[in-house]
C-alpha cells in the first residue's frame, strides 16, 4: 500500500537532512501542514531547535487577497512558521522525490474563538467553546469554505486532506486540562457538544424544537451522567436520556449542517484545483461524533470526496463502514500513530498495516515523521521495506 507521512514545515525548514530522511523511510508521499491549530511540538533532530510552539491556529503561507476587508480571516503564522513556510518545505520535499499533499485543519481555532466569541459553540449551560467554531453560522461557513480552497490548493500540491471539517465539541486537548473527572462517554460528549448559538437555536426551531426547552432537557439529561449513574451505550443512551423524537431532531439538524458544509468545501477545493487533484477528509463513520475526525455518513461522503483518512491506531474497525461504500479508485487511508511516546506502536506497523488492508484500506498514513524518535523511524523504515 502507498504510504504517506505527516510533516510540519518546521520539521523541514532549516534542516537540510530532513527531506532525504523522510524519503528514506520508504514513503512516496508527505502530508504537509498548510493550515494548522495551535500546538507545542518536539523537533528531535532539528539542528536549530528542539521545541516549536505554534501559539495560535494559522495558515503557514501568506494568506491571499480574498480576505481583504473580511471580519473572519485566517491568521498568518508567527515566528514558528514565518513567510511561506509551507512553500519552502514543499519545494524541499518535492526535490527529494516526495509527492506533496496539503494538510488543512479547519473548524478548530482557539484564537478565532477568543477574538470573535460569537462564532463559538455554546453548550446547554451557556458555556462557550472557543476552540470550536460553530459550523451552522453563515459567516463561519463562508470562512471555512474559502479557507479550505485556499489552503488546500497550494502550488505543486497533488491533493489535500481536510481535518476538522465538521462539528467540534467538548472533547479537546487543552493546556492543563481538567475535564476528565467525570466519564461522559459518547452520549455525554454528544449532549455537551450540542450548540445553542443563535444559528443553532433557529435550526432546532426549523426541526420543531423549542430551543429553550431543548436546553433544559439537555441539562436534565446530563444529570445522571454527572452522578455517574447513567452508563454509556453511545447513541442509545443519548436517545434514552433525551427522548426518541428530540434526539432524532437534534441529530438531523447537526448531520445536515455538517454534511452540507463538507459538500460545499469539497466543491470549492475542486473548483480551485487542477485536474487530478485528490480530496480526502479525516473522518469517523459515526455521524454524531465530533472532533478532528469529523463524523460523516460513509455513503454520502464517498460520493463527494475521493476518500477518507480513518483513525486506526486503536484498531481497524472504523474502516469497514467506509469499505462497504468504496468504489474503484476510492482512497481508504488507515491512519496509524508511529510515535511510541504518543501511544503508537511502530514495531507492529507491518502487522497493523496487514489488518488495515484486510478491512479495506488502500493506503497508510503515518503520524508523524517529525515527532517520532530515531528508534521509531528505524522501525517504520524496516516495516515499509518489508512490504
Q: What is the pLDDT of residues 121-146, one digit of tens each?
A: 999 999 999 999 999 999 999 999 99
Residue 304: exposure state from Cβ atoms within 10 A (0-12, 13-18, ≥19): middle
180 pLDDT exceeds 80? no
Least confident of 61-65, 136-140, 166-170: 166-170
pLDDT attached to residue 185: 85
pLDDT attached to residue 235: 92
H/E run at residue 214:
helix 211-227
pLDDT attached to residue 170: 85
85 pLDDT exceeds 60? yes
> Within 10 Å of residue 17's Cβ, how many Cβ atoms?
12
Measured CA to CA in angstroms, residue 50 lies from 254, 342, 351, 371 at distances of: 41, 17, 32, 10
Between residues 358 and 386, the one the model is more confident about: 358
Mean model confidence pLDDT for the chain: 95
pLDDT attached to residue 232: 78
Domains and CATH numbers, the chain: 2-123+133-179+259-385 (3.20.20.80)
> Within 10 Å of residue 347's Cβ, how many Cβ atoms?
17
User: Following DSSP, what letter does each residue of 100-150 receive, concatenated?
Assistant: EEEEEE-S--HHHHHHSGGGEEE-TTS-EEEEEE-TTSHHHHHHHHHHHHH
pLDDT attached to residue 178: 52
Find residue 38's DSSP bridge partners. Answer: none
| Bridging pattern class, strands 29-36 and 2-7 | parallel
3-state secondary structure 313-369: CCCCCCHHHHHCCCCCCCEEEEEEECCHHHCCCHHHHHHHHHHHHHCCCCEEEEECC
pLDDT attached to residue 171: 75
pLDDT attached to residue 177: 58
Contacts of 378 (CB under 8 A, 6+ apart): none
Q: How many CA atoms lie within 13 A of 194 on its CB side?
A: 30
User: Following DSSP, what letter does each residue of 148-212 receive, concatenated?
Assistant: HHHHHS-TT--EEEEES-S---S----TT----SS--HHHHHHHHH---SHHHHHHHHHTT--HH
pLDDT attached to residue 386: 82
H/E run at residue 91:
helix 85-95
159 pLDDT exceeds 70? yes
Q: Cβ distance 160 to 104 under 8 Å?
A: yes
**What is the model's pTM?**
0.96
Q: Verify cis geometry, omega within 30 degrees of 0, for the bond prior to 27.
A: no
Q: Is 86 helix (H, G, I), strand (E, B) or coil?
A: helix
41 pLDDT exceeds 70? yes
Between residues 179 and 312, the one the model is more confident about: 312
Q: How confident is the model at residue 93 (pLDDT cuts 50, 70, 90)?
A: very high
Q: Is 213 helix (H, G, I), strand (E, B) or coil?
A: helix
pLDDT attached to residue 289: 94
Q: Cβ distance 121 to 168 under 8 Å?
A: yes
List pLDDT tens digits, range 187-231. Answer: 899 999 999 999 999 999 999 999 999 999 999 999 988 887 767
pLDDT attached to residue 105: 98
The residue to which cell 514545515 is assigned: 9
List pLDDT tens digits, range 250-307. Answer: 999 999 999 999 999 999 999 999 999 999 999 999 999 999 999 999 999 999 999 9
Mark 20-38 as b/e (b = at least 16 C-beta within 10 Å).
ebbbebbbebbbbbbbbbb
Mark 260-280 as b/e (b = at least 16 C-beta within 10 Å).
ebbbbbbebbbeebeeebbbb
Q: Compute the C-alpha angle 321/318/192, nearest 5°.
A: 105
Least confident of 68-72, 173-177, 244-248, 343-347: 173-177
List pLDDT tens digits, range 320-369. Answer: 999 999 999 999 999 999 999 999 999 999 999 999 999 999 999 999 99
- Range 381-384 contact pairs with CB under 8 angstroms and sequence separation of 24 or more: 381/24, 381/25, 381/26, 383/346, 383/349, 383/350, 383/353, 384/3, 384/25, 384/26, 384/27, 384/349
pLDDT attached to residue 182: 61
pLDDT attached to residue 294: 97
Q: Cβ distance 255 to 287 under 8 Å?
A: yes
Q: Cβ distance 266 to 304 under 8 Å?
A: yes
Contacts of 311 (CB under 8 A, 6+ apart): 282, 284, 293, 318, 335
Q: How confident is the model at residue 173 (pLDDT cuts 50, 70, 90)?
A: low
Q: Is 283 helix (H, G, I), strand (E, B) or coil?
A: strand
User: For the chain, how many residues are written?
Assistant: 387
Amino acid at each position: 500500500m502507498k504510504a504517506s507521512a505527516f510533516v510540519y514545515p518546521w520539521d523541514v525548514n532549516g534542516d537540510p537532512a530532513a527531506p532525504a530522511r523522510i524519503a528514506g523511510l520508504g514513503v512516496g508521499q508527505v502530508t504537509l501542514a498548510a493550515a494548522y491549530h495551535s500546538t507545542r511540538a518536539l523537533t528531535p533532530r532539528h539542528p536549530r531547535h528542539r521545541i516549536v510552539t505554534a501559539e495560535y491556529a494559522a495558515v503557514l503561507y501568506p494568506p491571499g487577497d480574498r480576505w481583504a476587508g473580511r471580519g473572519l480571516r485566517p491568521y498568518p503564522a508567527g515566528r514558528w512558521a514565518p513567510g511561506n513556510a509551507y512553500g519552502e518545505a514543499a519545494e524541499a520535499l518535492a526535490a527529494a522525490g516526495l509527492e506533496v499533499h496539503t494538510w488543512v485543519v479547519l473548524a478548530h481555532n482557539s484564537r478565532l474563538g477568543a477574538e470573535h466569541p460569537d462564532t463559538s459553540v455554546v453548550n446547554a449551560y451557556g458555556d462557550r467553546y472557543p476552540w470550536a467554531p460553530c459550523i451552522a453560522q453563515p459567516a463561519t461557513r463562508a470562512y471555512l469554505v474559502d479557507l479550505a480552497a485556499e489552503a488546500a490548493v497550494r502550488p505543486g500540491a497533488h491533493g489535500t486532506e481536510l481535518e476538522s471539517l465538521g462539528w467540534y465539541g467538548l472533547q479537546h486537548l487543552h493546556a492543563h486540562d481538567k475535564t476528565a473527572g467525570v466519564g461522559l462517554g459518547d452520549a455525554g460528549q454528544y449532549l455537551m457538544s450540542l450548540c445553542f448559538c443563535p444559528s443553532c437555536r433557529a435550526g432546532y426551531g426549523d426541526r420543531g424544537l423549542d430551543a429553550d426547552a431543548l436546553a433544559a432537557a439537555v441539562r436534565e439529561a446530563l444529570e445522571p451522567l454527572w452522578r455517574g449513574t447513567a452508563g454509556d451505550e453511545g447513541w442509545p443512551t443519548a436517545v434514552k436520556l433525551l427522548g426518541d423524537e428530540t434526539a432524532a431532531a437534534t441529530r438531523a439538524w447537526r448531520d445536515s449542517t455538517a454534511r452540507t458544509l463538507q459538500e460545499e468545501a469539497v466543491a470549492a477545493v475542486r473548483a480551485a484545483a487542477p485536474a487530478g487533484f485528490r480530496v480526502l477528509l479525516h473522518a469517523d463513520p459515526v455521524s454524531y461524533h465530533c472532533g478532528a475526525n469529523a463524523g460523516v455518513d460513509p455513503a454520502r461522503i464517498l460520493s463527494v470526496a475521493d476518500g477518507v483518512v480513518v483513525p486506526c491506531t486503536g484498531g481497524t474497525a472504523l474502516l469497514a463502514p467506509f469499505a462497504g461504500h468504496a468504489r474503484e479508485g476510492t482512497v481508504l487511508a488507515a491512519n496509524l500513530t508511529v510515535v511510541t511516546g504518543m501511544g503508537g506502536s511502530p514495531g507492529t506497523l507491518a502487522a497493523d498495516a496487514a489488518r488495515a488492508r484486510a478491512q479495506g484500506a488502500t493506503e497508510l498514513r503515518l503520524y508523524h515523521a517529525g515527532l517520532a524518535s530515531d528508534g521509531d523511524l528505524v522501525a517504520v523504515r524496516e516495516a515499509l521495506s518489508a512490504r
